[in-house]
Amino acid sequence: MIRSISQLKKIVHRRAKEEEIMRDEEGRAIIEMTVRRDEDFLSDYSVGRSPQICATVADFLDGAATSFSPKESLTVNVYSDCIDEVEQEVYRSAMKEYYFQKCKENAFERKRNLIASILTGAVGTLVLIATILFSHLWENAVVAEILDIFAWVFLWECADLLCLHGTSLQLTRRRYLRLYDAKLVFFPLNQSNS
């Protein structure tokens, strides 16, 4: 049966309304995760005092967290029979370390984004001033028009970096902070819903 886009939107919207967010006793939204083999839980490349979770685990957590508001506190319930108490503490610290590094990377990218937007805004403003000078003092319409286009391209890039890309980086930062702060709780596999 072929459905129209509007019918599909209604179905998805209805399902999203019906889907209730599971919460723990503290009111945190719950992400459920099943680990049948824990050999790949940690990254092969992070050793020593600061292990990190592997990319597959991080992708799963990032994907699961995107269905919640970035303001939402999270609990990750891990269902597994192969993770002992020592490994639980290692995995908790590995998850914190991974998202700590992601927060640092995000802060660097936000700073670089701010510097680039200031520079493009300054260049756009200076070229716009030059456009005004060319159009009024030397009455060279062709050069003034070229400079005008050049200035507005730089000013648009500044706005894009600050407003569009900056907002995206801010949301990503909040999500990383929530995952850094997430409570990691371990349960035996037989207690899972699946």
Q: What is the pLDDT of residues 92-139, one digit of tens each?
A: 999 999 999 999 999 999 999 999 999 999 999 999 988 888 777 777
Average pLDDT over residues 21-44: 90
Domain boundaries defined on the chain = 23-191
Counting residues of the chain whose pLDDT is more than 70, the rounded percentage is 97
Q: Are 9 and 3 in contact (CB under 8 A)?
A: no
Which residue in the block uniquely carries the two structure tokens 């790949």? 40
Average pLDDT over residues 62-71: 91
How far apart are the C-alpha atoms of 42 and 99, rounded to whole Å?
13
Provide the token pair at 55.
């990319």
C-alpha triplet 141, 145, 147: angle, nearest 5°: 120
Beta-bridged to residue 79, according to DSSP, are 34, 187
Residue 190 has pLDDT above 90, yes or no: no
Q: Are 64 and 21 in contact (CB under 8 A)?
A: no
Q: What is the pLDDT of residues 37-62, one digit of tens each?
A: 888 889 888 767 789 999 999 999 99
Provide the token pair at 171.
């949301």
Confidence of residue 167 (pLDDT cuts 50, 70, 90): very high
Mean pLDDT, rounded, of the chain: 89
Residue 153 has pLDDT above 80, yes or no: yes
Which residue in the block uniquely carries the two structure tokens 């508001």? 69
User: Is 92 exposed, middle or buried, given 0-12, 13-18 or 19+ CB atoms closer than 10 A?
Assistant: middle
Q: Helices marked H in the chain — which ranges?
A: 5-18, 55-65, 85-133, 141-159, 166-181
